[in-house]
Amino acid sequence: MGKMSIRDKLALLSDAAKYDASCASSGTSKRGSRDGKGLGSTTGSGICHAYAPDGRCISLLKILMTNYCVYDCAYCVNRVSSNVPRARFTVDEVVWLTTEFYRRNYIEGLFLSSGIIRSSDYTMEQMVLIAEKLRAGGFRGYVHLKTIPEASPELIERAGLAADRLSINIELPTDASIKAFAPEKDPAGIRGAMGKVRLTKEDYGDRSYTGRRRGRFAPAGQSTQMIVGADKADDRDILGNATRLYGAYGLKRVYYSAFSPIPDASAVLPLVDPPLMREHRLYQADWLLRFYDFSLDEIVTRDAGGMLDLDVDPKLAWALQNRDRFPVDVNRAAKEMLLRVPGFGAKIVQRILKARRHGALSLDDIRRMGGRVKAATPFVIARGHHPGGRLDAADLRARFVKPQQMELF
C-alpha cells in the first residue's frame, strides 16, 4: 500500500469518528488571544460552525488519531474484525489540521478519539502529545480528548491539564450488554476511570495554602455516551443508568446515540434505521430529570413497559397522565408547578414569574414572551382563559399526536 495523502486519511478518520455524538465546545474557562501571542479564544456557550445534512452541529474537528484497534466491539466500525481500510495520523498532522482549520474559522477546536493500538498507555500518550503540542504552540481553542479507561493516572492527569473536556464512553446501558458486545471492555474499569477524573478535578479545584491553583484540570468537565437501540435495554434502564452517572461522577452530559447501521456490520446487531425519535425523547427526559425536578418514576414506569411515549414528549405525557394536577394558574402557581406545564421552558417560567408582578398575564402575553401557548392552553388558567372541559376531553392526547407522514411514492 502506497503512502496515504492527508486528504485520504482525513476522509477515513473523520468517517470513523462520526458515531460519537458530542460536538460541544461550551462551558470551559475563558481564554483569548488579544495579547497577540497565541491563537484562539473560548466562548461560554460554544459555536456551531456548520451543520451537516444530518442536522448535527459541526463545532470541532472530530477525528480519530487512528482507526486501527485491537478491540472487537460488535457495534463499532473500527473493531479488529471489521474490513474497513486503516490509517493513522501523525502528531504533527493533527496539530497542523487543527490550527489551519481554526485560522480559517472552520472550527472551535479538536475532539480527538482513537482506536487502541499496542497498549492503552501508548495510545493515550500519543493523544496527550497532540494536545500538549497544540498548547505549546499557543493554541487556546477548545480541546476534547477521549480518555482510555485503562490508561495510567499520570496520563489521565496530563490529558486533563491539556484538554478542556475529557470523556469516557460507557458505550451500552447495562454491564451485561457491555460484556456481550464489547468483550474486552470492563464496565467497572470504565466507571472507575470516570471516578478518577472526578477526584482529580476536585483535587485541582482545591487551592493550595498560598491560595493559588495548581493548574486547570478539564475545566469543561467530563461527559459520556451510551448507544441506544443496539441491545435490549429499555428507556428506564438507560435513564436510570444516566442518573447514576450524573450523580456519581458529576458528568456535564450523557449523550445518547441511536445505533445506526455501519459499513461492514457485525451480524449480532440490528441493521435497521437508527431510532432517532427514541434518542430525541431520551434527551428530553434527561433534561426533565436534570433541570425540571422530575423523578425517574414520574417519567418512565415499569407499568408502561419501561419505555417513553414516542408520540408525545415526556412532559406532555406526564401532564396527560396527571390531569388532576391541572389546570395551573399562571398568575398564582409556584415555580415548581409552572415548570411542569407543557410548552413552558425554564426561561419562560422565569419571565412569567417576573412579569406577573406587573399585572395578571393573558395567553397573548405569554405568547409574546416566547411560551409555546398551543401546548399549554388545555393545562393553564390565565387572564381571560380557562380550559374548562378541554382538560378532561378524551381526545386530548390525540390532538397532540402528529399524524404519521405518508411515505413518498
Partner 1 sequence: MFAPRLPRLGTEIAWRDAARRLAHVPPSEIDWGWEDAGASMFDAPLPEPRALTVPKPFAALARLLMAERTGRGFTLAHALLHRLPAERGLLANRADPQVAEAERIAKEIRRDLHKMHAFVRFREMPGQGARRRFAAWFEPDHRIEEAVADFFVNRFGDMDWAIVTPEVTIRYEGRRVDLAAVASTRPAEGDPLEELWTTYYSNIFNPARLKVDAMRAEMPQKYWRNLPEARAIPALIAGARGRVPAMQAAAPRPARPPAEAAQTVETRVARPDTLEALRMAARGCTLCPLHAQATQTVFGEGPPDAPVVIVGEQPGDTEDLAGRPFAGPAGQLFDAVAAEAGLDRSACYVTNAVKHFKFVQKGKRRLHQRPGTTEIRACAPWLERELALIDPRLVVAMGATALQALTGAGEGLLARRGTVERTRDGHPLLITVHPSYLLRLPNPAARARETDRFRADLARVSDLLVS
Element (H, E) at 166: strand 165-167
- State which residue, 227 or 391, has the beta carbon closest to partner 1: 227
Tell me the pairing of strands 60-64 and 328-329.
unpaired
Q: Which residues contact 34 (CB under 8 A, 6 or more apart)?
A: none
Q: How far is the CB of 315 from partner 1 (least distance, A)?
A: 19
Site for partner 1 in 230-249 (CB under 8 A): 243-244, 246-249
3-state secondary structure 141-163: CEEEEECCCCCCHHHHHHHHHHC
Cell numbers placing 365: 402575553
Tell me the pairing of strands 142-146 and 165-167.
parallel
Number of residues that bind partner 1 (CB under 8 A): 98
Kindly list the distances between the CA atom of residue 65 and the CA atoms of 13, 100, 130, in Å, as whole numbers in the listed order: 7, 17, 9
Site for partner 1 in 266-295 (CB under 8 A): 266-269, 271-274, 276
Q: Strand pairing partners for 323? A: none
Cis peptide before 327 (omega within 30 of 0): yes
Q: Is 345 in the site for partner 1 (CB under 8 A)?
A: no
Q: How far is the CB of 38 from partner 1 (least distance, A)?
A: 6
Contact range with partner 1 by CB under 8 A, out of 205-213, 311-319, 353-361, 384-392 = 353-361
Question: Which residue has cell 478518577?
Answer: 196
Q: Is 361 in the site for partner 1 (CB under 8 A)?
A: yes
Q: Is 80 helix (H, G, I), strand (E, B) or coil?
A: coil
- State which residue, 250 or 345, has the beta carbon closest to partner 1: 250
- State which residue, 100 or 392, has the beta carbon closest to partner 1: 100
- State which residue, 91 or 265, has the beta carbon closest to partner 1: 265
Q: Strand pairing partners for 50? A: 58
- Give the dihedral sign, CA 365/369/370/372: negative
Q: Is 39 helix (H, G, I), strand (E, B) or coil?
A: strand
Q: How far is the CB of 213 from partner 1 (least distance, A)?
A: 21
Cell numbers placing 385: 382563559
Q: Is 107 helix (H, G, I), strand (E, B) or coil?
A: coil
Q: How far is the CB of 347 from partner 1 (least distance, A)?
A: 10
Q: How far is the CB of 100 from partner 1 (least distance, A)?
A: 6
Site for partner 1 in 100-119 (CB under 8 A): 100-101, 103-106
- Tell me how crowded residue 7 is: count the other CB atoms within 10 A of its CB: 8
Site for partner 1 in 40-79 (CB under 8 A): 40-41, 43, 47-58, 61-63, 72, 74
- State which residue, 196 or 320, has the beta carbon closest to partner 1: 196
Site for partner 1 in 295-324 (CB under 8 A): none
Contact range with partner 1 by CB under 8 A, out of 2-10, 114-122, 165-173, 313-321 = 2-10
- State which residue, 118 or 244, has the beta carbon closest to partner 1: 244
Query: Exposed/middle/buried for 51, CB within 10 Å: 0-12, 13-18, 19+?
Result: exposed
Q: How far is the CB of 404 from partner 1 (least distance, A)?
A: 17
Question: Which residue has cell 412579569?
Answer: 355
Work out the angle at residue 167's Cα, subtended by the Cα atoms of residues 162 and 169, and round it to the nearest 5 degrees: 155
Q: Do residues 88 and 68 make contact, with C-beta atoms less than 8 angstroms apart?
A: yes
Q: How far is the CB of 346 from partner 1 (least distance, A)?
A: 14
Q: Do residues 6 and 97 make contact, with C-beta atoms less than 8 angstroms apart?
A: yes
Residue span 8-37 as binding mask against partner 1, x where in contact by CB under 8 A, dash where not: --xxx-xx-xxx------------xxxxxx
Q: Is 340 in the site for partner 1 (CB under 8 A)?
A: no
Site for partner 1 in 160-199 (CB under 8 A): 175, 179-181, 183, 186, 188-189, 191-192, 194-196, 198-199
Give 285-334 as a DSSP string: HHHHHHHS---HHHH--TTTTT---SSS-HHHHHHHHTGGG--EETTT--
Site for partner 1 in 73-92 (CB under 8 A): 74, 81, 83
- State which residue, 97 or 312, has the beta carbon closest to partner 1: 97
Q: How far is the CB of 60 from partner 1 (least distance, A)?
A: 10
Site for partner 1 in 389-408 (CB under 8 A): none
Q: How far is the CB of 362 from partner 1 (least distance, A)?
A: 8
